Structure 1
Amino acid sequence: MMRVDYNLLKALHAVVSLQSFERAAKRLAVSQSAVSQRIRHLEELMGEPVLVRSQPPMCTAIGQQLLSHYQQVQQLEQQLAQRLDIQQSCPSLALAVNADSLATWFLPALDPWLHNAQIQLQLYVENESQTWRRLISGEALGAVTNQSKAVNGAQSEPLGALTYLCVSSPEFQARYFAAGKPNKEQLKQAPAIAFDPHDDMHFNYIESLFGLSAGDYPCHIVRSSEAFVAMACSGYAYCLIARQQVQSQLDNGTLVNLLPEFALKVPLYWHYWQFSTHLMQSVSESLIANARGCLDME
């Protein structure tokens, strides 16, 4: 039976989570050469590569399985320490979340643990269609995603929906959309904002309503929900943004809803591993309850 050296898995986890051999070496208090040797030794044991030496480094399929196993063992060790009442350092929770959830309902759900410094967060902030990949790779213990179906070994819980509105400042509306509502020709000139080049939600929304594809109109790429709001309020661009994030700006007239009849609801789900510790179970319950109190019904 194969015996796994967990120092090797620890090195793999450090390289992937910190996205660098150099940072992994500092975290593990060893040389960068020692980290590389541990990865090579692990690959010799597996008989195949566990990492793609890209920038940043990425796990191969077997590397993902090893990383997932290591995360499970870490959780079990934390759970055992709690049962034995052994004093441990503040546990780390690696979670994947979309930017709009992070800007609205997500962090308040973690207040009981963050306020008292009971956990260390490692957040992967991705598009909601991509966050589940962090779970599959073993990098994250839980993920907020728009994927409803759970992967093997994980659970999926519906959270509710973020309702997205197409908004701009009144000045931007007057400058680009003379009639108040945008049309196809006007949108070809009006700057938009998308989260990243894979922001299917924005591009699909505009294409479905106006027949314009990505590249047919100017579009800023900005990986920050807060920057979306700031840029829209400043009159730099229009954007799709969660109603929950801009309700006060809509109420005071800083922003206007350009297409009130075309709100877009995006259902969200919380995925987490079934092996989760008591801590992770408690965190999951808090996230689910807070989301359902803040998000809209689907």
Structure 2
Amino acid sequence: MKGLDYRWLEALDAVIAHGGFDKGAEALFITQSAVSQRIKQLEKWLAQPALVRESPPQPTAIGKKLLGLHRRVQLLEKELLPELATEGLSHAVPVSIATNADSLATWLLPALTPLMKAQALEISLLVDDESRSLNRLRSGEAVVAISAEPTPLHGCSAQFLGAMDYLCVCTPEFKARYFPEGLNADTVSRAPAVVFDRFDDMHTQFVYERFRLPAAGWRSHMVRSSEAFVKMAKLGVAYCLIPRLMIEDELQSGALIDLCPGDGITRHLYWHHFTTESGILAEMTQACLNHARQVLRSNTD
């Protein structure tokens, strides 16, 4: 049986990346019929569809895995080619990183800055909750993932980054209005909170463990931005769980107060990457590990 032809994967990637067969063909400088033929050959080889022919086309489950394979091969080529070329190449290596919003808002960009300034990296950030970010690595959308899951995927390594501590905070005025007697099941059920999205279970865990309130037993705003969490808390319209790293100045000035001293939430974060990485990818991993371990709490207690 004929082996996998990477021109088929190139065509699949182009169709998905550019949202259609015509635009995918333009990107590859070939005809639309040639792209269609390559994908048909791929699907014949697979004996199953590689994409769903809708607008725009979407990869099937096996299509996602093949896209991940193709992108990892491209990444390895871009790392290796400067070593093989006589005069070297100056192109940045594109890297897709699946990250939680709070890492992006705190330590991740400072860790990557030296490599981006050196034009060694061209990053694409896929923002997801730390409980789901590993799915981006599993599907092939990302080559690195920051996750709360300590167990690596097959062929990958997971290295401990550090512990991110979350405090339950609000303004003094908000506390006086909603929590004059402190937090209890009744006051928590009436005070507006902030959650990241419908999958965010951090606040749900917080109120259930302390007050046995169900997920539908309290009010909440839904805001997909770590920075907006801080803004809403400072505006006095909600209370919320925010990484200590983001609000140290506000805590020091008294603009925000810790509602539950010594009783916050902790998330342990891990850097998931392929064990075969080398060159600039290995440099990126080391830079991120070094920086995260400087700013995050280092123990796993």
- Normalising by the residue count of structure 2, what TM-score does the alignment of the two structures yield? 0.89
CA contact (8 A) 2:21 2:36 kept: no
Deviation at residue 22 of structure 1 after TM alignment: 8.0
CA 45–233 in structure 1, closer or farther in 2 if over 3 Å, else same: same
Match of 1:80 in 2: 80
2:210 aligned counterpart, secondary structure: helix
Mapping of residues 162-241 of structure 1, within 5 Å: 162-179=164-181, 181-241=182-242
Distance (whole Å) between structure 2 residues aligned to residue 76 and residue 221 of structure 1: 39
Match of 2:124 in 1: 122
Match of 2:103 in 1: 101
Distance (whole Å) between structure 2 residues aligned to residue 151 and residue 233 of structure 1: 40
Q: CA RMSD, aligned part only? A: 2.5
Deviation at residue 55 of structure 1 after TM alignment: 8.4
CA 99–19 in structure 1, closer or farther in 2 if over 3 Å, else same: farther
CA contact (8 A) 2:97 2:126 kept: yes
Distance (whole Å) between structure 2 residues aligned to residue 191 and residue 15 of structure 1: 44
Distance (whole Å) between structure 2 residues aligned to residue 24 and residue 240 of structure 1: 44
Structure 1 spans left out of the alignment, 5+ residues = none
Match of 2:245 in 1: 244
Of all paired residues, the percent bearing the same amino acid is 39
What amino acid does structure 2 have at the position aligned with 1:292? Answer: R
2:262 aligned counterpart, secondary structure: helix
Match of 1:278 in 2: 279
CA contact (8 A) 2:15 2:25 kept: no
CA contact (8 A) 1:64 1:136 kept: no
Structure 2 spans left out of the alignment, 5+ residues = none
Deviation at residue 122 of structure 1 after TM alignment: 0.6
Match of 2:27 in 1: 28
Distance (whole Å) between structure 1 residues aligned to residue 257 and residue 40 of structure 2: 56
The structure 2 residue matched to 1:145, chosen from 124, 144, 147, is 147
What amino acid does structure 2 have at the position aligned with 1:94? Answer: S
Distance (whole Å) between structure 1 residues aligned to residue 225 and residue 12 of structure 2: 29
Distance (whole Å) between structure 2 residues aligned to residue 295 and residue 78 of structure 1: 32
Deviation at residue 238 of structure 1 after TM alignment: 0.9
Larger radius of gyration: 2
CA contact (8 A) 2:14 2:25 kept: no
Match of 2:157 in 1: 155
Distance (whole Å) between structure 2 residues aligned to residue 20 and residue 236 of structure 1: 40
Distance (whole Å) between structure 1 residues aligned to residue 213 and residue 22 of structure 2: 43
CA 245–89 in structure 1, closer or farther in 2 if over 3 Å, else same: same
CA 54–161 in structure 1, closer or farther in 2 if over 3 Å, else same: farther
Deviation at residue 54 of structure 1 after TM alignment: 7.4
Distance (whole Å) between structure 2 residues aligned to residue 129 and residue 107 of structure 1: 20
Match of 2:46 in 1: 46
Distance (whole Å) between structure 2 residues aligned to residue 100 and residue 57 of structure 1: 32
1:280 aligned counterpart, secondary structure: helix
Q: Deviations over 1:159-206 (max 9, x none)?
A: 110001111111111111112x22111112111111111112221111
CA 38–243 in structure 1, closer or farther in 2 if over 3 Å, else same: farther
2:190 aligned counterpart, secondary structure: coil
Distance (whole Å) between structure 2 residues aligned to residue 150 and residue 27 of structure 1: 38
Q: Deviations over 1:216-254 (max 9, x none)?
A: 211111111001101111011111111111111111111
Match of 1:257 in 2: 258
Q: Does 1:4 align with 2:4?
A: yes
What amino acid does structure 1 have at the position aligned with 2:148? Answer: N
Deviates more, 1:53-62 or 1:227-236: 53-62
Deviates more, 1:52-61 or 1:153-162: 52-61
2:247 aligned counterpart, secondary structure: helix
CA contact (8 A) 2:193 2:220 kept: yes
Instruction: Count residues in correspondence.
Output: 296
CA contact (8 A) 1:96 1:143 kept: yes
CA contact (8 A) 1:142 1:271 kept: yes
1:236 aligned counterpart, secondary structure: coil
